[in-house]
Structure 1
Amino acid sequence: MKRISLLLIGLLLISSYSCKQAKKEAEEASEAIEKSVEMVQEEVMEESIAFKMEPKSDSEVSGEVSFTEKDGMVSMSATFSGLTPGEHAIHIHEKADCSAADATSSGGHWNPTAEPHGKWGDEGGFHKGDIGNFTADAEGNAAVSFETDQWCIGCEDPNKNIVGKAVIVHKGKDDFTSQPSGAAGARVSCTGIIQ
């Protein structure tokens, strides 16, 4: 009888140890799966918005602009037609309002940090909307791409959130020094960034 009791106690101990070990292994596997799912979710977290550009100031400039946010970076891609050949400025303006015939309803450059106008990345300062210049070919077509971690799409940071702003293409090029807008001339195309 004593031997049977010892045998039962031994079996219970082994069984208890096996259950604890199995439970621990199951918890570790569950944590590993959760971490993998989180990593996959982070990798595929991507948001995109796209809009048509409208002609303004009696121009024929049209196009499309899209923004994609992934891994903390926002990339802008735009194509235009109907431009005069040569350099043109492109900026983000403070209001998603293209209702005025000359697009002045979009306000000034988006400048949430109250910096002077300048070339993107200059030590002397620049607006968050100071994208820069691009060149239209002899047929008036152009493509623009830009990427930064200084923007976001719909985040809570008013110094980074581009939603509620407008993209403006100007008739001329930005000189990067004239205040407050770079003397780029008329606003020839506009779109509001509304999510």
Structure 2
Amino acid sequence: MNQQRIAALSLVLACAALVGACGGMPMGPGRPGATASLVPTQAVSPNATVGNVSFTPLDHGVRVAGEVRGLPPNTEHGFHIHEKGDCGDNGNASGGHFNPSGGTHGKYGAAGSHAGELPSLVADASGVARFSVDDHAISLTPGAPNNVIGRALVVHRDRDDFTSQPAGNSGPRIACAVITKS
């Protein structure tokens, strides 16, 4: 009986040590997130497109949520994460869509589409698009191939056709931001 108590106590102490060691590790919501503050490009004029987007880590993926203002009322716009964290040259310096796994362009969440796909922005009658989506193709983990921190977030002038390769034929980049750790 004494050996069983010692074994049980050892197991309890080992579990406590493991839980204590994990206490300093960020897990799930509550880990540092990221933000992007969209500013208008000069690709079209006039252009008052601005927005704030938050990237919140989940246990498996990232919640992307925010609001974009200054869009033409009742319109749809391509919305993507781009490969480079550079909004120069009217957003064109951001390169192509973020695509670490070599997928094809398609609709957000479709099998085989690239990680940079986000659901299209749909502006209401006031020209405001609000959104929240849990994206399981991206992360905020340093060193991970699908990490989006330091990449660009881009709003396009036109709707995404979800078929044209490699970018959906969604027109000029009207707003851009670099995703930064918060």
Q: Report the TM-score range of the alignment, normalised by the length of the smaller protein.
A: 0.7 to 0.9
Give how far 1:149 is off: 2.2
2:78 corresponds, among 86, 89, 107, to 89
What is aligned with 1:153? 140
The answer to whether 1:135 aligns with 2:126 is: no
8 Å Cα contact 2:28-2:57 kept in structure 1 = no
The one-letter code of the counterpart of 1:173 is R
Deviation at 1:122? 2.8
Q: Give the TM-score of the pair, scaled to structure 2.
A: 0.83
Q: RMSD over aligned Cα, in angstroms?
A: 2.5
| Other structure's SS at 2:53 match | strand
Counterpart of 2:40? Answer: 55
Residues 127, 43 of structure 1: alpha-carbon distance in 2 compared, 3 angstrom cutoff: closer
Q: Which residue among 163, 170, 173 is the counterpart of 2:159? A: 173
> Who is 1:183 aligned against?
169
Q: 2:104: which partner in 1?
A: 116
Q: Percent identity?
A: 33
- Tell me, which stretches of 5 or more residues in structure 1 are unaligned? 1-16
CA distance in 2, matches of 1:144, 1:116: 24
User: Which whole-Å deviations, capped at 9, do the CAs of 1:102-124 have from their partners, x for residues lacking one?
Assistant: 2101111111222221112334x
Give the deviation of 1:46 after TM superposition. Answer: 2.2
Aligned equivalents of 1:176 and 1:148: distance in 2?
Answer: 17
Deviation, structure 1 residue 38: 5.8
The letter of the residue matching 2:109 is G
Q: Distance in 1 between matches of 2:137 and 2:126?
A: 33
Q: Quick one: which amino acid aligns to residue 151 of structure 1?
A: I
Higher relative contact order (CA 8 A, sep 6+): 2
Q: Distance in 2 between matches of 1:44 and 1:33?
A: 22
Assess, with a 3 A threshold, how the Cα gap between structure 1 residues 28 and 93 changes in structure 2: closer, same or farther. Answer: same
* Match in the other structure for 1:27: 10
Contact 2:83 2:98 in 1 (8 A): yes
- The structure carrying a bigger helix percent of its residues is 1
Cα 1:130/1:43, change in 2 over 3 Å: closer
Alignment pair present for 1:163 and 2:149: yes
When normalised by structure 1's length, the TM-score is 0.78
